[in-house]
Structure 1
């Protein structure tokens, strides 16, 4: 996986003999490249603009060779840089200048890393460190720390995150001894990446907070501007768009004060990417345009224009997008050959490809016009000896052949790309190549080989799981387009691969793959690998502990619904319905719109009976024969947007026949029932929304809701209205003895973590903060949170994937079970429902799923609340026992 480039000081011995101004300028260059390791959208940093003439002329001395190598490296001509740096190494060896030799070996290691020669990269950085160990002084200590930075980069690039962490911690100690604040900050940022690569996101964020504090204390400088920008980019990758924006704005302000047009342009580019992630299109476009106008570097201008172009295409503004193309083509043609310019060429080809698919919008270009761009990119990659960019270019050309149905040519190119990607340590390209290979083999009806290719793609995605949001920023990455289809197509291929009914091994593999997709969706939602625990397989619970429960896995494919069912003590079953994904989504969308309208019961029944016939009818008799009383759904896609309780068989709703629960995977965390005699609830509620959120209505019935909980016999600790702040909730969470948390306040579920929250009196509590609020408690309290209830939440309007936020909330909170509403319900009916639920939970000696069902049935039987809009909104996620 490509990291931000690290290039050490060119000649430390020489620098100490030069004047302060030169030292400062080169130090800025060093900090610009060393400040961070892995950002999804790298900060465009100022550097030396190479000219071919200067490179040709500077060949007289070791110092000139080193400068020449730097210029070639800056230009992305890594193979040529290796040759020149090798000459510089020999020259410094002949002079006996060990300090300069050590620096040059470090630079040579970086160049080797860029061309994927990991063995040579490791050998030369080891040589550099060994040289520096022989003599100890302040100059050598600084150089030694800088070489450790490079060694750490090699380690993390080759999958040795733990070793990289130790290396960067060692570098930090040296920088601390030297009181080198810039070096300390650089090492800490690198350490955060190492922690993140090991899945320790909380620790990574703690380090980044420390970095932020240190940066705020530093005087303004170009180095500080670059570090702030890099830190902002990292936080954006980790899903903290708000804090990222603050840091990027600080970086921009410093660059403006110091009148550094290069850094101003780079900060505008990063801010544009930030606004784009936050779906603030107008601000993103404005900052992309600012970057184009201000930056002195052609590559930065092109990158900003390409991001602007892809944003317009993504939003369907194709006419506006076409006006950008000529300018991009013109600037791209003037760029010197480098890795950056090659990726920009591929990026343009892919955007043009999307425009070609809509011929009316851009009729003046065809596939035949795109191919030469990719052929050029391949040739340029080969001239640089850059196998990684060559792999991506060859893959893209193969995709072009695939689209024009030239399967044999596409296959040859794809196989060639696979070899290139595997030998250049680029897993983010490898999985795409395997995916493309699988599609092509499938088209040729080579099913066995196609399955193997898809399996390889999925395996690589699993290895990439922690870093999917931080893959090579030059590789266009969109979860919906580039990851989700791999899993879905794989499942479709598996289930269609056999002429007869799929065997149990195949069915089990298919459902595991859908679970992997769900986990990947949550990872993408949180921008980090979602939390896992000691889980028990659902099948074991069904077969041994809860033999009256069945599990259903409905899977939405392009032209059919596939359902895999686990019925107690029987092999997996499978059935399907030939229906397009488009029609499924239309039926569910209409059903969802009708569910929130109490007057639309007839439409609800009509659409919900369709869904019932798809999912339940084919297996209804077997459920009855096995005396199943509880259904657990592992829902896929649009099915998450509707409550399964509202499915209708023509006479009864599903809730009238079964208790119902949802699961986000095939395993359950600590599947134990809630002990009724020990139910203690922490209740928190907010009648009036805080300032800025007045579009949410008042909730005057909260006190009645809390009274109904107390009347059920549950011991409660309450904070309400002005008392309900985030600090107060956190204090209560960590001091009060309880195992149920009941939050009666407005909340919103969204497909974006940034827009998923609950409201407290002092503002929103974001879903990403649930981790510190509730999960931390598990580490200090013997009694975990068994049940989280969110009684006044709703899914975001117009977001057809908003239920992902509900699943994310359930996972992030760490509660064994979560009950939430998919839309906001009338206050009085909510109080009625809540009282009935807790009474069932306290006195009924039933499972959580059965308690929920009984409370919903009481609403259904109430003359004022008998329509699905009142009783079906509540869903149970997680442990149903």
Structure 2
């Protein structure tokens, strides 16, 4: 996460160094016969640091330190050295030098404005070291001290930088609401900033931070504001291209490829800085490849290469070479040769700069190229070298990639046991990185779907197929189950750009009662694996030989059939096929137990299909069992619902709002709830986001029920529920409920989201549903996969509350009885009326 401190480092090292000298020019001036003064050495060190010549910057600053006699200047130089050591991954030296800096400041006992400013800078540097070492709480405290000093001194630039840093630490600690408030304060401070240059660069930095934490709309808005100020103001036009580049990155993160391409083209056209132009063109190249514009991509790749060759070595140059090489590998066979040359040059440059991080990346990707061409010996040797470098500089975000790559190479050579061990190490490293995955170096192209998810799936594949025609052991089955659950949480972390599951967690098996079976389907490229946990029994395992593509096609067709208002023979055939995959091999064992509830930990496209509607040829699954879903083994505070204490906050819309149709049956739904449980109702104009916040904060509700339009999507910015005044996005909803949990001892037992639906055409839309369920902090969430504009939804919800309020049943059984209530009515027997409702989380 240390890579987001660009704005602050500019403040620390000075804003005036826009012209970076070539390294050979600096080297020549150092070797001149007349010795340089200490200020000149400090200046040259700054220039080298900004040119990302970190090792050379260390040499120059150490020389300046030897010559310096002023104690505060020594403290400042030690501070600079710590920054450079952090960039080089030399953590012990970084810690020693920053501690020495702070000790010297303390020894000086000076309280001048200069002494306070140097102290604030040193505290900022110490905070970056602490966060990089996983000490987020210490980092937050340190940055709060720095902010206080900057505020007292009236140093706006330093204050803004340290507040941005605080937001990083708050994010890492799971303090999402506080992080958003901190960033809002930063934005407000920048708006009032009279220095337009500082305002523009500060807004750009803020926009980049918003993108990092997943606030993509905020990122784009702030960057657009920075762009408008550049076009209207009198500042240097050199700010234009970096801002356009940032806007392109945000648009790309939003999936707006067309806008991203335009921004990148403009960024490349509006700069005289070759490196910035190359970075924009490489991003442009990736968009062209992703959108199938191969010819244009080839032409652009040929334009970039000569420019890159002429650049002086630096970390950014090396990263540009790596990214270009990765892109060229996707184009043609000739691109493989060009990629190899680029990566070989990058390795030499990194070695000359003593930049072990850049060297590890370059070696690892060259090894990946050898893997692609099946030159296994070279691939393995270079991967191990890259891994050793990453481990030497304590860079787990790099190391896991080479551990995974080593596992693939060993597997390809038939060394299954060593390959499994390599995957186990990669998995363990990824688990330790959970909250930091989104901060993986953005200079190296990163995609969760490409560089994280496959590690989990390929490891599971090895665990469930240990080779030599042998069946997996109980230990391997348990590990496979743990891996797939970790993937579920990692997917949610990536969805929200933050670690989702915080607070007290309890393994399901600790509360797994005799009537619950837990079913884990796992979609692999060539088959569907299923692991089953039955009460007081060893784990079971079975598989169906079928491709991932066919699985997804069947599930997609089944979902479409379930949403049709009439029964088709094809629909029941599809439903029976999925039943055969998941339940049929288990029927005998289930019939021999007292199991009454099936709890599914669903994978991939299976999340978009209601398990209740699976058909065995005679009955739907819901006619035999209660059904619940959970994102994994770990639940938040599981315990049975206390029916005697039910009290509900109900909010709904019946009228058309914000382009959404009216929901006339919501009125009946709300009346049905009021008739069964004590309720506080917010309807139409009274259902505003502010009113909802006030009610949630002030009254002890066990259930929050929102009967309104809403959408679950794989894009966090497109996941929302509709209030009268505006759509409430998932992060806002999360903050509303999370804030309530912080202020009141009574947890929300149940969050109900009726009339919501998963986004049409989004195969991963149920991620949004699972994300809401976990982030809301409610023990259970009842939601609909699709919305029905008729009275069946109101009838089902009314019956659900009746079961819940009048009978001693679990939430899962209350839902089952409500679904059966409709299923037994000839007018509502089709699954479209009752199957869409799913229960996530605690089913008790």
Could you say which TM-score interval applies, normalised by the shorter chain?
Answer: over 0.9
Q: What's 1:20 paired with?
A: none
Deviations 1:622-676 (A, max 9, x none): 1011032211101011110100011111111111111101011112222222222
Q: Contact conserved, 2:6 with 2:205, CA < 8 A, in 1? A: no
Q: Does 1:758 align with 2:721?
A: yes
User: Matches of residues 739-758 of structure 1 in structure 2 within 5 Å?
Assistant: 739-758=702-721
Deviation of 1:487 after TM superposition, in Å, equals 0.5
Distance 1:426 1:681 in 2: 48
Q: Does 1:863 align with 2:836?
A: no
Distance 2:117 2:605 in 1: 56
Q: What's 2:377 paired with?
A: 408
Distance 1:29 1:294 in 2: 28
Q: What's 1:648 paired with?
A: 615
Question: What is the DSSP-based 3-state SS (H/G/I as helix, E as strand, rest coil) of the residue aligned with 2:827?
Answer: coil
Q: Does 1:526 align with 2:496?
A: yes
Question: What is the DSSP-based 3-state SS (H/G/I as helix, E as strand, rest coil) of the residue aligned with 1:791?
Answer: strand
Question: What is the DSSP-based 3-state SS (H/G/I as helix, E as strand, rest coil) of the residue aligned with 2:498?
Answer: coil
Distance 1:765 1:738 in 2: 20
Q: What's 2:199 paired with?
A: 224
Q: Does 1:606 align with 2:573?
A: yes
Distance 1:689 1:423 in 2: 60
Match of 2:329 among 353, 372, 376: 353
Q: What's 1:132 paired with?
A: 105
Deviation of 1:322 after TM superposition, in Å, equals 2.6
Q: Does 1:213 align with 2:176?
A: no
Distance 1:119 1:400 in 2: 33
Question: What is the DSSP-based 3-state SS (H/G/I as helix, E as strand, rest coil) of the residue aligned with 1:703?
Answer: helix
Question: What is the DSSP-based 3-state SS (H/G/I as helix, E as strand, rest coil) of the residue aligned with 2:631?
Answer: coil
Q: What's 1:24 paired with?
A: none
Q: What's 1:549 paired with?
A: 516
Change (3 A) 1:489 1:421: same
Question: What is the DSSP-based 3-state SS (H/G/I as helix, E as strand, rest coil) of the residue aligned with 1:575?
Answer: strand
Change (3 A) 1:160 1:871: closer
Deviations 1:747-772 (A, max 9, x none): 10100111000111111011111222
Distance 1:66 1:670 in 2: 56
Q: Does 1:451 align with 2:427?
A: no
Deviations 1:295-315 (A, max 9, x none): 232111111111122223233
Distance 1:458 1:237 in 2: 23
Q: What's 2:51 paired with?
A: 75
Q: Does 1:839 align with 2:839?
A: no
User: Matches of residues 42-57 of structure 1 in structure 2 within 5 Å?
Assistant: 46=18, 48-50=20-22, 52-53=24-25, 55-57=27-29
Q: Does 1:66 align with 2:30?
A: no
Change (3 A) 1:679 1:162: closer
Q: What's 2:751 paired with?
A: 788
Deviation of 1:154 after TM superposition, in Å, equals 2.9
Q: What's 2:340 paired with?
A: 371
User: Matches of residues 158-177 of structure 1 in structure 2 within 5 Å?
Assistant: 158-177=133-152
Q: Does 1:797 align with 2:760?
A: yes
Deviation of 1:592 after TM superposition, in Å, equals 1.1
Deviation of 1:460 after TM superposition, in Å, equals 1.3
Distance 1:481 1:579 in 2: 22
Q: What's 2:667 paired with?
A: 703
Match of 1:284 among 251, 257, 260: 260
Q: Contact conserved, 1:3 with 1:157, CA < 8 A, in 2? A: no
User: Matches of residues 464-475 of structure 1 in structure 2 within 5 Å?
Assistant: 464-475=433-444
Q: Contact conserved, 1:535 with 1:670, CA < 8 A, in 2? A: yes
Change (3 A) 1:100 1:709: closer
Q: Contact conserved, 1:601 with 1:868, CA < 8 A, in 2? A: no
Question: What is the DSSP-based 3-state SS (H/G/I as helix, E as strand, rest coil) of the residue aligned with 1:355?
Answer: coil
Deviations 1:194-221 (A, max 9, x none): 3333333333222222222222222133
Q: Does 1:619 align with 2:586?
A: yes
Distance 2:568 2:18 in 1: 63
Q: Does 1:182 align with 2:157?
A: yes
Change (3 A) 1:734 1:649: same
Question: What is the DSSP-based 3-state SS (H/G/I as helix, E as strand, rest coil) of the residue aligned with 2:169?
Answer: helix
Deviation of 1:718 after TM superposition, in Å, equals 1.1
Match of 1:872 among 830, 835, 839: 835
Q: Contact conserved, 1:271 with 1:287, CA < 8 A, in 2? A: yes
Q: What's 2:234 paired with?
A: 258
Q: What's 1:314 paired with?
A: 290
Deviation of 1:785 after TM superposition, in Å, equals 1.6
Distance 1:689 1:334 in 2: 60
Q: What's 1:17 paired with?
A: none
Distance 1:309 1:29 in 2: 34
Q: Does 1:631 align with 2:607?
A: no
Question: What is the DSSP-based 3-state SS (H/G/I as helix, E as strand, rest coil) of the residue aligned with 1:284?
Answer: helix
Distance 2:352 2:267 in 1: 30
Q: What's 1:332 paired with?
A: 308
Q: Contact conserved, 2:244 with 2:267, CA < 8 A, in 1? A: yes
Question: What is the DSSP-based 3-state SS (H/G/I as helix, E as strand, rest coil) of the residue aligned with 2:124?
Answer: helix
Change (3 A) 1:7 1:565: closer
Question: What is the DSSP-based 3-state SS (H/G/I as helix, E as strand, rest coil) of the residue aligned with 1:445?
Answer: coil
- Shifted more, 417-426 versus 49-58: the winner is 49-58
Question: What is the DSSP-based 3-state SS (H/G/I as helix, E as strand, rest coil) of the residue aligned with 2:704?
Answer: strand
Question: What is the DSSP-based 3-state SS (H/G/I as helix, E as strand, rest coil) of the residue aligned with 1:864?
Answer: helix
Q: Does 1:422 align with 2:405?
A: no
Match of 1:769 among 732, 735, 760: 732
Q: What's 1:13 paired with?
A: none
Deviations 1:766-785 (A, max 9, x none): 11112222232233334322
Q: Contact conserved, 2:517 with 2:599, CA < 8 A, in 1? A: yes
Deviations 1:312-350 (A, max 9, x none): 323333333333212222321222111001000000111
Distance 1:759 1:122 in 2: 49
Deviations 1:188-243 (A, max 9, x none): 22222233333333332222222222222221332232222111111111111122
- Shifted more, 549-558 versus 270-279: the winner is 270-279
Gaps of 5+ in 2: none
Change (3 A) 1:264 1:169: same
Deviations 1:602-631 (A, max 9, x none): 221111111111110001011011032211
Change (3 A) 1:670 1:798: same
Q: Does 1:202 align with 2:177?
A: yes
Q: Contact conserved, 1:46 with 1:263, CA < 8 A, in 2? A: no
Change (3 A) 1:175 1:533: closer
Distance 2:60 2:503 in 1: 51
Q: Does 1:727 align with 2:700?
A: no
Question: What is the DSSP-based 3-state SS (H/G/I as helix, E as strand, rest coil) of the residue aligned with 1:747?
Answer: strand
- Shifted more, 389-398 versus 736-745: the winner is 736-745
Distance 2:404 2:313 in 1: 29
Distance 2:239 2:11 in 1: 11
- Shifted more, 499-508 versus 739-748: the winner is 499-508
Change (3 A) 1:318 1:862: farther
Gaps of 5+ in 1: 10-26, 34-44, 357-362
Q: Contact conserved, 1:2 with 1:426, CA < 8 A, in 2? A: no
Question: Structure 2 length as normaliser, TM-score?
Answer: 0.95
Deviation of 1:150 after TM superposition, in Å, equals 2.4
Q: What's 2:551 paired with?
A: 584
Change (3 A) 1:622 1:469: same
Q: What's 2:89 paired with?
A: 116
Deviation of 1:481 after TM superposition, in Å, equals 0.6
Change (3 A) 1:8 1:752: closer
Q: Does 1:436 align with 2:405?
A: yes
Deviation of 1:468 after TM superposition, in Å, equals 0.9
Change (3 A) 1:235 1:845: same
Deviation of 1:678 after TM superposition, in Å, equals 2.7
Deviations 1:539-562 (A, max 9, x none): 2222xxx21111101111111111
